[in-house]
Structures are given as C-alpha cells and as structure tokens.
A and B are shown apart, each in its own frame.
Chain A
Amino acid sequence: MKKILLRLWYDSVPVLAAFAALTAAVWGKAQKAKVDEFEKLADEYASICVSACSRCSSELMDTVTDMSFSLDKLRVTASQTARVLALEDIVRLSAVAAEHLSRLPRSQVDIMELESFLIRAGDYARTLSGGLLAGREPGETDIAQLEAMLEACRGLAERLEERISSGEMPVGTEEYDYYEASADRDGAEYPTLVYDGPKAAAADEIPPKCAGEPETDPAAALEFAECIAGESMLPVGGTDGKMPCWEFENGDGTASVTITKNGMHPVSFMRPPAGDRSDEPTAEELARIFRAAMLFLEKAGFEDMTPTFVSRYDGAAAVSFVWRTGDALVLSDSLSVLVDRETFRVIGLDARQYFYNHCEREIERPALSREEAEQAVSPSIEVSRTRLALLNVTPFTETLCWEVRGDGFGGEYIIYVNAQTGAEERIVRIVSDEYGERTV
C-alpha cells in the first residue's frame, strides 16, 4: 500500500510541476500585460504632455510676435480708430501670451518676471486706449515706452524661436533655472512701464497712508487689542512689510488682534463663531447685526461709516462698510465687520484696506446733477438709488461719481457715472446667492 502511495506521489510530481509552471506562466503573462498597459498609458500621457507643452511654447512665440507686429503698426498709423484697435489687440494678445506662459511646466519663479511684463504690457495698452477714447494723446514718455515694449517683444520672440528650434522646450525641466530671468538673458531686460493702471509696478510702491504716523508703544497697543477683543490678550510678535503691525492672541490662541505699529490702528480681529448658521437673517436679526457692527466701530474709533453689503457664512454675518465724507462715500476706505449669528457679538474686523487708503479728502462739487446722472445711464435700467461716491478708477486716481443703482434684464447693477463729465466709469453687477450679496 505504501509503495503504491509512494509511486502515485512520484508520478504526480511532474504533473504538479507542470501545473505550477503553467500557472506561473499565465500569471506572468497577465502581469506582463498589465505592465505593458501601464507603459503604454505612461507613453500616451507623456506624448500628450509633450504635445501640449510644444503647442503652448509655439503659440507663446506666435502671440509675442503678433504683439510686436501690433506695436510696429501703432508707430505708423495716423488714424485714431486704428490706434485704439491696435492697442486693444495688444491687450488681448498679452492676456493670451500670459495664459500660454502659465501653462508651461516652468516654475513660478522662473517665469514671474516675464509674466509681469506681459500682463503689464496689456494693462498699459488698455490705459492708453482708454485715454485715446477720452481724447488724451500719448505723451513722449508713452511713445518711448511703446518703442521699448516693441524691442522687448521682438527680442523675446527671437529667443523663444531659438529655444524651440534647438529643442530646449520643455517637459520636466529643472526648477529655478531662471529660463527667462535676467541672469540668463544676455543682459536683456524687460522695460519698466510707468503708467497709472491697476497692475502698474508703481502701484506696489504706494505706501499706506498711516505710514507716517507716530510709532505705537507696544503696551498701549496691547491695551487697545484687549479693548477690541474684550478679553485678555498676549503679545505674539509682529509683522514687517508695508504696514508693520503688532500681533496679539488670547490664551488659547482662538482670538487674534493686529494693531498697526504706526498710529495704533486696529487692522484685524478674528475669533471663531459660536454656531454655523448660514440661513437668511430676518429683518430683526439684520437690524441687530448692523447695530452690533456700528457700536463696535464706534468703540474702535471709526467714524462716519456707512454699511453697503452683507454676506453670511459659517455662523457669521460680514457687513461691509465704507467711509463717508460730506455727501460722498469713499469706496477705497472700506472695511468689514463679522458679527456672530448666535450671540450678535462682533467676532471679526478686517480694516487693512481702510487704513491703507484712509485720509481726509476734498470733495469737489459735481457738475452733473443727480437727475442728469440718472438720465446718463441706459434707459433699460430702472433706477432705485443714486448717491455720490469717490471711485478709485486707478491706483493713483480717484474720481467723483454718481453711484446709480438700478434693476434691468433681471439683474441688479451699480453704474458709476463721472460727476463732472457724465462718462460711465465702471459698471458693477450685484450677485445675490445663498451667501448674501456681493459685487462682480
């Protein structure tokens, strides 16, 4: 019996071995198929990436070349219309070029200087085209800057072409290789464009209005922070930069207050809300929210603040305020106050923009009457409210406008009409959603 079993065992060994080999072969084949599939997929992705990057590189070069053509045409055209159209072309092309650039797999550090140039070129062109439409001719500085832009675009297009034709463009390139940064450009520089537009380099250099005020004693700042927060606070350091501040926190770090080192102004205050209500407040609740916000602002030393919009989220209502002087709202002197929906206590303040811009202004008399301003807007708008507002049309320019609010086409709009010329300076759409009102 034992012999028979032994024989059977010996006979079955080759069969088992063959079976195991077959199983291994089938498994191996399946694994190989999987690996092949992944490799194919990886190759496909790599091919897609290379194609997308090559396309972006080529289109960046084409767009910058087109910018240089538009700048070139701008030099020779005598027609006002053609000049405006050429400038608007530059606006469009600069945005397209910046978009292509941002899609390249280059590090942000690598491309930020070039991106700034492209964006500012468009911003500058828009400023010039707006000026032409308003009857302002470009000055000598503008003409010199347009020439510099043309040279920069030509040089950039040439360098891009060289890079593309030599195959240097780009997938998975090394980070921080300063591809278009000054260190690697054979001395080529992008011109600094001096103008008054939203993205102008000079706008970054504007100091806050409170910068020249006397320096704050840290102990006094702590006392003021405790008054703002309504509890004991501890100093936790400070910040430098354009608006240096002292930072304070309560014992468990859940509340923080920031006070400017110059002038001792409350820049921000934040603590978490008690609940998470985000439903629409009733009229009575809204009145309590406004009352709490106004009382807080008075206590914190703010005067003549007018509420504008209310939004709500995560248990808090955020009330936006702007400063009023005389009959006019000063829109750049704005701040927001957060009120807890459960307790109606103020739990937040964001007044950085207010203290950055706030100063006394002389408000001129409007040449246009309220009625004339209302007649200047589209007849499709049914006007609901009109008031004077000082609008920051550029970083360096504020313009007195009539703020005409009204309904039309199923939406609500605010139209800013220049109070001296009657020109439309800006149109804002009011969007109401589950979080309240906001403007776009």
Chain B
Amino acid sequence: MKNVKLRIAALVLIAALLLPSLMSAASLRYGSRGDDVVKVQKRLRQWGYYSGSVDGVFGSGTLAAVKSFQRKNGLTADGIVGPRTAAAMGITLGGSASPGTTTSNVYLLARVIYGEARGEPYKGQVAIGAVVLNRVKSPSFPNTIAGVIYQKGAFDAVSDGQINLAPDDTAVRAARDALNGWDPTGGCLFYYNPRTATSKWMLARPVLLRIGNHAFC
C-alpha cells in the first residue's frame, strides 16, 4: 500500500514537472519566448494588430494584440495563443516549419473568399476562389495568387481590411475545391454585387451567371 502511494506521488510529481513544458509547447502566453512568439508577432503585425518589435518575447504589447485579434475573430479573449487562436492566425505552433507555399496559398485564397463572400452559398464561395485562379491563368493579370489578390482595387476585402479576418472552415474548403479545379463560373474573370456596384465599366460587362448576391462576368 505504501509502495502504491509512493508511485502515485511520483507520477503526480512527474506530471507536475512536465505539465508546464507540455502547456508551453501547445500554447503561448504572457512571458513565453521563442520562435513561435516571433511567428505570432509577425502575423499580428502583418494584419495590423501589433505595432511593437518582433523580438520573440510575449510581453504586454503582444498580449494586448492577441486579445484584440481574439475579440475581432470571435474567440475567447484570454490572451493565450492556443490551437484555436493559432489556427485562426494561420500558423502552426510547436517549432514545426512554417506552412509551405501551397498551404499559404490555400489560406490566402480562403481569406479572400471569407472576406468577399461569407454568407453566400457554398458554390458562390468556390466561385470567388475560381475567379482568382482564372485571373492567375489570364495574361491580363499577375500570375500569382498573391499578385492577383493584392492588385489595387481588385477586391473590396483587401481595401477594407476584411481579408485579415480568420476564415472559417467553409471558406478553407471552398479554397481547396477551387484550387482542385472546381470552377462554377466556367472561366469568369470578374464579379460584382449588383446592389452595391457603381463602376460603369463593370456594370457594362455581360453577366454570364448569378450565384447568390454576385453576378459573374
């Protein structure tokens, strides 16, 4: 009986010793340091939540920025970067390599889909991704996804900053479907919302199909 108690005590002690390191591997909080904090700071800075230095130290400035990011993206504003917050930021914690080009492109495409078409039917969300990819293939536009998305005036979500919102699972799936070749628009290069569009140039283009609130041409 005494041995059993000793073993339980030893296990509790080991767990107590290991828990902080396991916690720190899975989440970042005030006082954390290292490469993962750098990733978080870079992403927050890139999206306009953080203006401090990228020094790998999770200080008060980073804490405030994380809370602000969490509030804006419907997460619990506890200032801790756990798996959900990290996923919303599009980063992977735990010292693994940063997402590769393909993953980054999926996420960038998902962000523009979410910013432009959340609330639209799923097919309409895929259609937005397809328009971006049709432009990449067209000689009239830049030949990268980032080049097309960040071209001046190309997408309202870029102009008004909604592209920096964390996309939901539906937008990510729509991005993957579009990248996998699904094009509900049949090759369209433009779309607009007839209720809000003001550009005479755009309104003069022949509409080929409508999905939800968007006319594609």
- A: residues with CB less than 8 A from B are 98-99, 102, 104-109, 112-113, 115-116, 119-120, 123, 175-176, 199, 237-243, 245, 247, 253-254, 256, 258, 267-268, 270, 272, 276, 311, 313-314, 318, 336, 348, 350, 352-353, 433, 435
Contact = CB atoms under 8 A, between A and B. Distances in A.
Contacts of B206: 240
B26 interface: no
Interface string B187-206: 11000000000010100001
Contacts of A241: 186-188, 208-209
25 contacts: A102-B142, A104-B152, A106-B152, A107-B152, A108-B153, A109-B153, A119-B140, A123-B139, A175-B199, A176-B199, A237-B209, A239-B185, A240-B206, A241-B188, A242-B186, A242-B187, A253-B121, A254-B122, A258-B184, A276-B169, A311-B180, A313-B176, A314-B172, A348-B182, A353-B181
Name the prevailing secondary structure of the B interface residues: loop
Pick the most buried of B151, B154, B169: most chain A CB atoms within 10 A of its CB: B151
Nearest to B217: A241
Contact of A352 (B152, B169, B177, B183): B183
Given A176-B201, A239-B208, A112 B186 contact: no
B176 A240 contact: no
B118 interface: no
Interface size class of B (residues with CB under 8 A): 35 or more
B149 to A, nearest CB: 11
A112 B123 contact: no
B102 interface: yes
A247 B123 CA distance: 11
B118 to A, nearest CB: 16
Given A107-B152, A240-B209, 10 more contacts: A98-B142, A108-B153, A116-B139, A119-B139, A175-B199, A237-B209, A241-B186, A268-B182, A336-B181, A352-B186
B173 interface: yes
B38 to A, nearest CB: 23
A102 B206 CA distance: 25
Interface of B: 100, 102, 121-123, 126, 139-143, 147, 151-154, 169, 172-173, 176-177, 180-188, 199, 201, 206, 208-210
Contacts of A199: 139
Pick the most buried of B126, B152, B169: most chain A CB atoms within 10 A of its CB: B152
A270 B121 CA distance: 12
A239 B209 contact: yes
A161 B122 CA distance: 48
Contacts of B188: 241
B139 A268 contact: no
Contacts of B102: 433, 435
A175 B182 contact: no
Nearest to B140: A112
B3 to A, nearest CB: 42
A245 B186 contact: yes
A318 B177 CA distance: 10
Nearest to B188: A241
Contact of A115 (B122, B139, B154, B180): B139
A115 B154 CA distance: 15
A102 B187 contact: no
Contacts of B209: 237-241, 247
Contacts of B151: 102, 108
B205 to A, nearest CB: 10
Contacts of A350: 180-183
A115 B141 contact: yes
Given A176-B201, A352-B183, A116 B152 contact: no
B20 to A, nearest CB: 30
Given A253-B121, A270-B177, A107 B153 contact: yes
A239 B186 contact: yes
B200 to A, nearest CB: 8
B94 to A, nearest CB: 16
A40 to B, nearest CB: 13
Closest 5 CB pairs of A and B: A119-B139, A239-B209, A112-B140, A107-B153, A102-B142
Nearest to B180: A318
B152 to A, nearest CB: 5
Nearest to B126: A270
Pick the most buried of A99, A108, A240, A348: most chain B CB atoms within 10 A of its CB: A108
Contacts of A115: 139-142
A302 B151 CA distance: 41
A116 B140 CA distance: 4
A237 B182 contact: no
Contacts of B152: 104-108
